[in-house]
Amino acid sequence: MENKTTLKNWYNNLNLAHPLVIAGPCSAETEDQVMQIARELKDSDVSIFRAGIWKPRTRPGGFEGVGAIGLKWLQKAKAETGLLMAVEVANANHVKLALEHDIDVLWIGARTTVNPFAVQEIADALKGTDKIVLLKNPVNPDLSLWIGGLERLYNAGIEKLGVIHRGFSTYEKTKYRNNPEWQIAIDLQNKFPDLPLICDPSHITGNREMIFEVSQQALDLNYDGLIIETHIDPENAWSDAAQQVTPTKLKQIFVDLKVRKETDDADDFTKRMNKLRTQIDEFDTKLLEILGNRMKVADQIGTLKKEKNVAILQNKRWQEILDKMINDGNHKGLSEEFIIQLFKAIHQESINHQEKIINN
């Protein structure tokens, strides 16, 4: 996919002294609620007001959005505040209604991105428009699926394209609602450096107390913006109450966030950075050598298991290794999450090696 997006140009032309910020309630609940939040965000660093009109719920029975009537509330908020308006669309009819109400930004949610048929339907409905379209990552950690969604929108002639990183579902419980898997978003950014990359700390964390922490991580990774759910009364929100902040809290987050320079051209910085990166390169080379030697031992274990007709997976031994590594890693300043991911990958590679030996 050749990148022809003009969204980055649009963003640069805003001449903002801060990253792009999209904010507003998870769901539009009432006209008064929408208007009050929009008014409080008008004179802040927010450029785009967001509100869910149609809410895909995991299970039936929950609040699924006010529907098309909410688009009229957004029109009113736009006329009064001048903020651009953004909604989530999940099918062609949503697109049609959003365009009829002159919504400026349409985003495609994670549950929709995972379905190529749905993304294609939306892409077809968007042909010929100049609206900003943002694609959230799919629910599952699949970079190809995320790229595929972008390609469908690109092929439909959408020029103002961007992506939203909202984290990925995982079977295992972590401190996040949706595990960030930062490397997947970084890989996408490396492939398409001109695509604006926006972080959604609300959905990554599921916890308003962690919004600042993840927002700062995103800015440290050179993200272009943030989308943060904001409500006048978060505790009593009709959906996702735990992850929404008040407009006052949002403004304080803006004050506390540190925007880093992308680089520094000073000679001293360059020399010191090059020295440190050389050390990193040396350690990485040693890591690969150690891992290669470890796999040679795993091969010997596979040969012994084949000789004695022993099963490859030894759960008790695996759990003992993992527990020990988590404990040792903690003493070395390494997070439990990192240790689990690292050693699961190592363990899986060991299994793959042993399967080849046993099955040959």
Counting residues of the chain whose pLDDT is more than 90, the rounded percentage is 78
pLDDT tier at 10, thresholds 50, 70, 90? confident
pTM here?
0.79
Q: Provide the domain limits for residue 292.
A: 267-359
Residues 71 and 193 both lie in one domain: yes
pLDDT at 19 over 90: no
CA distance linking residue 262 with residue 222, whole number of Å: 7
Instruction: Establish if 186 belongs to a structural domain.
Output: yes
CA 173-346-356 angle, 5° bins: 120
Cβ atoms of 117 and 62 closer than 8 Å? no
Residues 116 and 17 both lie in one domain: yes
φ and ψ at 355, to 5 degrees?
-65, -40
Distances (CA, A) of 44 to 12, 39, 65, 213, 249: 18, 10, 26, 20, 12
Residues 161 and 63 both lie in one domain: yes
pLDDT at 283 over 70: yes
Residues 205 and 305 both lie in one domain: no
Instruction: Establish if 75 belongs to a structural domain.
Output: yes
Q: Give the pair of three-digit tokens for residue 243.
A: 């992850």
CA distance linking residue 255 with residue 257, whole number of Å: 6
Q: Does residue 7 or residue 269 have the better pLDDT?
A: 269
Residues 106 and 174 both lie in one domain: yes
- Helices (DSSP H) in 14-104: which residue ranges? 31-42, 69-81, 92-100
Instruction: Establish if 1 belongs to a structural domain.
Output: no
pLDDT per position as a tens digit, 58-111: 666 667 789 999 999 999 999 999 999 999 999 999 999 999 999 999 999 999
Instruction: Establish if 239 belongs to a structural domain.
Output: yes
Distances (CA, A) of 23 to 51, 65, 236, 305: 8, 17, 18, 57
CATH number of the CATH domain containing 147 = 3.20.20.70
Whole-number pLDDT of residue 269: 83
For 340-349, what is the mean pLDDT?
Answer: 94
Instruction: Establish if 2 belongs to a structural domain.
Output: no
pLDDT per position as a tens digit, 117-174: 999 999 999 998 999 999 999 999 999 999 999 999 999 999 899 999 999 998 777 8
Among 256, 284, 299, residue at a domain's last position: 256
Whole-number pLDDT of residue 172: 76
Residues 284 and 244 both lie in one domain: no
φ and ψ at 210, to 5 degrees?
-105, 0
pLDDT tier at 262, thresholds 50, 70, 90? low
For the purposes of burial, counting CB atoms within 10 Å of the CB of 228, is it exposed (0-12), middle (13-18) or buried (19 or more)? buried
Residues 197 and 303 both lie in one domain: no
- Give the count of domains, the chain: 2
Hey, which bits of the chain come out as E strands? 20-24, 48-50, 84-88, 105-108, 132-136, 161-165, 197-199, 225-229
Residues 194 and 321 both lie in one domain: no
Among 223, 256, 289, residue at a domain's last position: 256
- Residue 327 CA, distance from chain mean position: 29
Among 209, 226, 256, residue at a domain's last position: 256
Continuous segment of H or E residues that includes residue 281: helix 267-308
CA distance linking residue 149 with residue 288, whole number of Å: 34
Residues 202 and 300 both lie in one domain: no
CATH number of the CATH domain containing 319 = 1.20.59.10
Residues 203 and 285 both lie in one domain: no
- Looking at every residue in the chain, the average pLDDT score rounds to 91
Residues 296 and 179 both lie in one domain: no
For 29-34, what is the mean pLDDT?
Answer: 97
Counting residues of the chain whose pLDDT is more than 70, the rounded percentage is 94
Whole-number pLDDT of residue 15: 66
Residues 306 and 198 both lie in one domain: no
pLDDT at 271 over 90: no
